[in-house]
Amino acid sequence: MTAATQMALAADLSELTRLADRIEEFCAANEVPPAVAYQLTLAADELITNVISYGFPDGAPGLPISVSLSAGAPGRAEVSVVISDDGPAFDPFAEAPPPILEGDIDDRPIGGLGVHLVRTMMDDVSYAREAGRNVVTLRKRITLAG
């Protein structure tokens, strides 16, 4: 299994449905288990929602958000999602506030829970600033049937 696809998303929350559909189609075509497809969709949705909501403070997004999906690599059974945007430099894994997990949810401050969820669901997360773009990579190992 070695496959890849890429898509460009406008900085608009309505694009999240198209993203979810593409991840689901890609995973089905590459025999990725539905539970993993769900986790990838949820993680990508969370991070892209943050980019759209907070990445362009002046309200004028630049280039489209790029999303690349890849499945498999020589000797590796994993699925990767790479999200790239041209917003201000921001490492969600280093700069997002740590979540407060104790106490009543209504009393907790907003922030950090989504990134915590992404870290928990994925096997590996990373951030880089490349050519003026934020590049977030998510990796999830999978068990192949057979």
So where are the chain's domains? 3-141
DSSP state of 144: P
Mean pLDDT of the 64-73 span: 89
Q: What does the angle CA 131 – CA 68 – CA 14 come to, to the nearest 5 degrees?
A: 100
pTM, two decimals, is: 0.84
Give 72-102 pLDDT, tens digit per residue: 754 458 999 999 999 889 999 887 666 555 5
Residue with the larger pLDDT of the pair 50 and 17: 17
DSSP state of 99: P
**Residue 82 phi/psi, 5° resolution?**
-115, 125
Specify the CATH number for 3-141; select among 3.10.20.600, 3.20.20.100, 3.40.50.620, 3.30.565.10: 3.30.565.10
Gap between the Cα atoms of 22 and 8, Å rounded: 11
- Please, what sign has the CA dihedral across residues 61, 11, 49, 46? negative
Q: Which residues contact 119 (CB under 8 A, 6 or more apart)?
A: 93, 125
Q: Which residues contact 13 (CB under 8 A, 6 or more apart)?
A: 49, 52, 53
